[in-house]
Structure 1
C-alpha cells in the first residue's frame, strides 16, 4: 500500500483556501476517501474530532486490503491566509485483524484498539496526542495483551505510559475447568522505562514490546 501517495492525494486535494471568518473546517468526506482507494482496498473505519486543539475537525481512518492495513491521521490547519489539511502521521497495523479497529477521539487523545491473530490473539491499544511543536501525532500510551481465546494457555499483559515512563506487566494464569475457565491476573510488576518522543510513524510492535517488558529485570 502506497502510504506517501495516499497522503499526497489528500494534501493536494484543493482543500486549502482563503480562511473564512470562522466557520469550522468540515471533515473530509467519505466519498473523497473512497475515491483515493485502489482495487481491493476499503475503508475499515474512521473517526473525526479535534486533535490539535484548533476547533476544526481532524480525521483518522484505516485503509485495509487483503494483505495490509494502514492507519492515517489528517490534521486540519488554519493560518491567517488559508485553511486546509496536512498529514499528522501514519503507521501499519497488523494484517490479521479479528474485526475492525476501534477508533475514538476524546479530549484531544486518539485511541486505537486493535485485535489480531487467531486462537492466540494480540489485543493492542495505542494512544496518541498531537505534539505541541510539530504537526505530528505522538504515542503516549501502549497496552498489549497476548492470550488464548479458548483459554488453552496462559497469557501476558503490559501497559506502558510513555509520558511518565511507567510500565506495568502481569501474568494471566488460566484457572478453572471447561466452561468455567478464565484468567487470573498474577505477579503484577511495575517499573520505569523512560522514552524519547515516539511519533506515530515510529510506533513500535506491541507484541515485541510486551515480550521485552515481561523479560525485563
Structure 2
C-alpha cells in the first residue's frame, strides 16, 4: 500500500516539477550586443546577485562615439519563461580616462569611474536592487576632485544616501615637486534629507561634490 501511495505521489508531482524553470542563464555578450547601435560596444561588465533573489544579474557599460551608458538587467522568471529585465540606466561621461571598474560586493554594485584630464574627478557609485520593485537604487556616492600633477587644491565627498550623512573634505595642496601631497584635515559633516534615488536619478558627481563643499 505504501508503495502504491508513493508511486501515485511521484506521478502527481512529476508534471508540476517539470513546469518549474531551471536556473536562469547569465546574460551573454552576444545578447547585449544584439541591442546596440553600430558604433557601440561593451566597455566592461560584471555579473552578480544585485537584488537578493539568488539569481545572477548583469551590469554593463556601453560606449559609443560620443555616448556612454551604464545599464543593469535583472534575471527574472515568468510563469513559463526566463528573461532579463531592465532595472536601470544612467548616462556617464562619454570620455573617461580609462574603462570603469565594476564589482558586486555583498549584493551592492560598485562602479568607479575616472574622468577629466590633468584635473580629474574620481567617482564611486554604489547601487542596490530595490526589493519593492525591479529597480536599482543609488545608496552611496563618493567623489574626489584633484590635480594629477599637484597643480592646485582638491576636494572630496562621501554621501551615504541610506542615512543622509555627508562628509566633505577640502584637500589643501602642501609641498611641491616629489614632496607634493594633499592635507585632508579640513573636514565638515552634515546631513541631507533621505530620499530614494533610482539609477536614472543619479546626480552628476562633480556637481554634487561642489554642493557638498558648500554644505548643501
TM-score range, shorter chain: 0.7 to 0.9
Aligned to 1:196: 195
CA deviation after TM superposition for structure 1 residue 96, in Å: 2.0
How far 1:22 moved relative to its partner? 5.8
Secondary structure of the equivalent of 1:54?
coil
Q: Which residue is 2:155 aligned to?
A: 156
Contact 1:104 1:112 in 2 (8 A): yes
Does the 8 Å contact 1:161/1:167 carry over to 2? yes
Alignment gaps of 5+ in structure 2: 1-17
- The answer to whether the Cα contact below 8 Å between 2:21 and 2:81 also exists between their aligned partners in 1 is no
- Distance change >3 Å, CA 22–CA 54, structure 1 → 2: farther
Partner of residue 11, structure 1? none
**RMSD (CA atoms):** 1.5
Q: 1:81 to 1:33 in 2, by over 3 A?
A: closer
- 8 Å CA contact retained: 1:148, 1:155: yes
Paired with 1:174 and 1:48, the residues of 2 have a C-alpha distance of 39
- Give the ranges of 4+ consecutive aligned residues of structure 1 lying more than 6 Å apart after TM superposition: none
Match of 1:51 in 2: 50
Q: Are 1:54 and 1:77, in contact at CA under 8 Å, matched by a contact in 2?
A: no
Write the distance in 1 (CA, Å) between the matches of 2:199 and 2:56. 19
Number of residue equivalences: 199
TM-score in terms of structure 1 length: 0.87
Q: Pick closer, same or farther for the CA change 1:117–1:21 going to 2, 3 Å.
A: same
SS at match of 1:133: coil
Q: Which residue of 2 aligns with 1:129?
A: 128
Match of 1:112 in 2: 111
Q: Which residue of 2 aligns with 1:175?
A: 174
Give the 3 Å change call, closer, same or farther, for CA 182–20 of structure 1 in structure 2. farther
Q: Which residue of 1 aligns with 2:82?
A: 83
Q: TM-score, normalised by structure 2?
A: 0.87
SS of the aligned residue for 1:212 comes to: helix
Gaps of 5+ in 1: 1-18
Q: Which has the larger radius of gyration?
A: 2
Q: What is the match of residue 73 of structure 1? A: 72
Residues 184 and 106 (structure 1), Cα distance of their counterparts in 2 relative to 1, 3 Å cut: same
